[in-house]
A and B are shown apart, each in its own frame.
Chain A
Amino acid sequence: MLVLGLAAMSLNFLLGFTGVLSFGHAAYFGLGAYGAGLTLKFVAASTPLALLSGMLLGGICGALLGTLIVRRRGVYFAMVTIAFGQVFYYIAFQWSSLTGGDDGLRGFSRQPIDFGLFKLDILSNANNFYYFVLFCFALVVAAMGFILRSPFGRTMIAIRENERRSRFLGIPVERHIWIAFSLSCFFMGFAGALYALVNNFADPRGLHYSQSGDFVMMAVMGGMRSFWGPLLGAAVFVVLQDYLSSITVNWMSFVGLLFVLVVLFFPRGLLGFIQRSKT
């Protein structure tokens, strides 16, 4: 849940604060997962290295494709991001020898973290692992919050609010969107790497555009103009999914219904609604 929340917040870094909708962000999430999994399986039994390589794989792929994407706007931006996302999905799906294809990547597991003085066992001790994930979550969220409060973060918001005005203030809009997109992909890759560690498994469906859609739903449902909204959205989404899927196979229709209601009646999302009713 925390990990999906982190992914939704990474997406929202772009969607809510720069104002461009990426519909292919699951690709960078999935790439992060595969990056971590492949590292553990083939390169070295090191959890920090796995996280780092997952983040770099997602982030660098995002940064490279970002150069092709950032000139598009609106629907076209969303379509191009879907297209590139699906490219990665089919690579993960077809390249069975490396990725395990449809079955996903198995045969790796997170490793104890060696701090020199002592080892932190995060494989068998679930408590330790939970705090480790929480720590990683806090680290990335702090980084996002820090950037959003900076002059650069304010130019992102400026672009969201009024692109033409931003341009005529001397902001090279495309370059700034590219940086925001790349940063968002790095965060997404990190979330994906964590996800692989949680499950000891990387799934090609984690790259599929329907997964991207889930992230967008979490962000919008929770409130994309607020920093913490997507976390709430992810929580609601996961709880509903767990609860409803045990009752009906059509659980997605109910989640969809809730999504529609939120969009129609609480345009600022659930968190925006809660904040407003407080004041």
Chain B
Amino acid sequence: MKVLEIKNVTKRFGNLVAVRDVSLDVGKGELCAIIGPNGAGKTTFFNLISGFFPPTSGSIAFDGRDITRLATHERVTLGMARTFQITEIFPELTVFQNVRIAAEVAGGYRLRPWINRSEAAQIHARVEETLHLVSLESKADRLVGELAHGDQRAAEIAMALALQPHLLLLDEPTAGMGDQETYQITQLIRRLHRDSNYTIVLIEHDMRVVFHLADRICVLDQGRMLGQGTPKEIAANETVQAAYLGTAA
């Protein structure tokens, strides 16, 4: 079953065509990595999927339902969660409070002026479970703004996971990280994919991470889809090598 079906989307900003006629299908449980040089339109493509702005043309379906014109929060309600290239968190709240807000919204409590004991206990359990998954349970009561960069990224992923999404969008999860942190985040994503069976689309610059994790790689260049395939196919693809891997190596 396809989680995400993107057909011929194009996004123009005035004269600039940031994404040109790109199609992509993502199956359930798949981990798809989007790579490409700076300015290739990767983040614009992500913004189209998550509803930051609508595409100029083309259509996007999620779990078989057309979401091309839906607002961001509606897509989240349908089960889509994302993280950002520059971490977006609630810095003055604790790790626990950050994740609790996500868990409460996902539980449908966002408009509730009260919450009873058993519901609160359920939320509490879900938050702890999520923190355990990203190994942040020991830092639950620290302010997120005071954590190390890698832990902030993990907290952001935890917030996305607390939404219990069918599709996880990760925008450069290892951006700005050292080797040790990159390794930890890569292991985390691998666990989410292999053990918890999440469907994941991610943008990544670090080729070691991409080839280690991805079932499938899509290469964008100047807004166009240059090619997609398994890591082996991409490594052997001459067009891709000329445009991207060649310059990186």
By a beta-carbon cutoff of 8 Å, the part of chain A in contact with chain B is 146-147, 150-155, 157-158, 161-162, 164-173, 176, 179
Pick 8 A–B contacts, CB within 8 A, sort by A: A146-B114, A150-B113, A151-B112, A152-B113, A168-B72, A168-B84, A170-B76, A170-B106
Q: How far is the CA of A152 from the CA of B115 in the complex (A)?
A: 10
**Chain A residue with Cβ nearest B91:** A161
Cβ contacts under 8 Å, A173 to chain B:
73
Give how many B residues have a beta carbon under 8 Å from the other chain's beta carbons.
Answer: 31
- The answer to whether A169 touches B101, judged by C-beta atoms less than 8 angstroms apart, is yes
Q: How far is the CA of A151 from the CA of B73 in the complex (A)?
A: 17
By a beta-carbon cutoff of 8 Å, the part of chain B in contact with chain A is 50, 71-73, 76-77, 81-82, 84, 88-93, 97, 100-102, 104-106, 109-115, 159, 163
**Chain B residue with Cβ nearest A161:** B90
> Nearest-CB distance from B124 to chain A (Å)?
13
Q: How far is the CA of A146 from the CA of B115 in the complex (A)?
A: 11
- The answer to whether B104 touches A151, judged by C-beta atoms less than 8 angstroms apart, is yes
- The answer to whether B93 touches A171, judged by C-beta atoms less than 8 angstroms apart, is no
> Nearest-CB distance from B149 to chain A (Å)?
17
Cβ contacts under 8 Å, A154 to chain B:
97, 100-101, 104
Which one, B93, B100, B113, B159, contacts A146 given CB within 8 A?
B113
Asked, given contacts A150-B113, A152-B110, A152-B113, whether A170 binds B77 with beta carbons under 8 Å apart, the answer is yes
- The answer to whether A170 touches B73, judged by C-beta atoms less than 8 angstroms apart, is yes
> Nearest-CB distance from A54 to chain B (Å)?
22
- The answer to whether B115 touches A170, judged by C-beta atoms less than 8 angstroms apart, is no
**Chain A residue with Cβ nearest B112:** A151
Cβ contacts under 8 Å, A170 to chain B:
73, 76-77, 105-106, 110, 163
> Nearest-CB distance from A167 to chain B (Å)?
5
Cβ contacts under 8 Å, B100 to chain A:
154
Sample of 15 further A-B pairs with CB below 8 A, known A155-B101, A155-B105: A146-B113, A147-B113, A150-B112, A152-B110, A152-B113, A155-B104, A155-B110, A157-B90, A158-B90, A158-B101, A161-B90, A164-B84, A168-B73, A168-B88, A173-B73
- The answer to whether A152 touches B101, judged by C-beta atoms less than 8 angstroms apart, is no
- The answer to whether A168 touches B89, judged by C-beta atoms less than 8 angstroms apart, is no
Asked, given contacts A165-B88, A165-B89, whether A152 binds B111 with beta carbons under 8 Å apart, the answer is yes
Residue from A158, A170, A176 with most neighbouring chain B CB atoms (10 Å): A170
Main secondary structure of the interface of A (DSSP, over half): helix
Q: How far is the CA of A150 from the CA of B84 in the complex (A)?
A: 28
Q: How far is the CA of A54 from the CA of B38 in the complex (A)?
A: 58
Q: How far is the CA of A150 from the CA of B73 in the complex (A)?
A: 20
> Nearest-CB distance from B120 to chain A (Å)?
9
- The answer to whether A161 touches B105, judged by C-beta atoms less than 8 angstroms apart, is no
- The answer to whether B93 touches A157, judged by C-beta atoms less than 8 angstroms apart, is yes
**Chain A residue with Cβ nearest B123:** A151
Asked, given contacts A155-B105, A164-B88, whether A169 binds B113 with beta carbons under 8 Å apart, the answer is no
Cβ contacts under 8 Å, B90 to chain A:
157-158, 161-162, 165
Cβ contacts under 8 Å, A152 to chain B:
110-113
> Nearest-CB distance from A270 to chain B (Å)?
20
**Chain B residue with Cβ nearest A170:** B76
Residue from B77, B100, B104 with most neighbouring chain A CB atoms (10 Å): B104
Cβ contacts under 8 Å, A146 to chain B:
113-114
Residue from B73, B109, B163 with most neighbouring chain A CB atoms (10 Å): B73
- The answer to whether A169 touches B112, judged by C-beta atoms less than 8 angstroms apart, is no
Cβ contacts under 8 Å, A179 to chain B:
111
Cβ contacts under 8 Å, B113 to chain A:
146-147, 150, 152-153
**Chain B residue with Cβ nearest A179:** B111
**Chain A residue with Cβ nearest B144:** A161
Q: How far is the CA of A155 from the CA of B50 in the complex (A)?
A: 20
- The answer to whether A150 touches B71, judged by C-beta atoms less than 8 angstroms apart, is no
- The answer to whether B115 touches A151, judged by C-beta atoms less than 8 angstroms apart, is yes
Residue from A151, A165, A171 with most neighbouring chain B CB atoms (10 Å): A151
**Chain B residue with Cβ nearest A172:** B73
Asked, given contacts A146-B113, A150-B114, A150-B115, whether A169 binds B159 with beta carbons under 8 Å apart, the answer is yes
Cβ contacts under 8 Å, B92 to chain A:
161
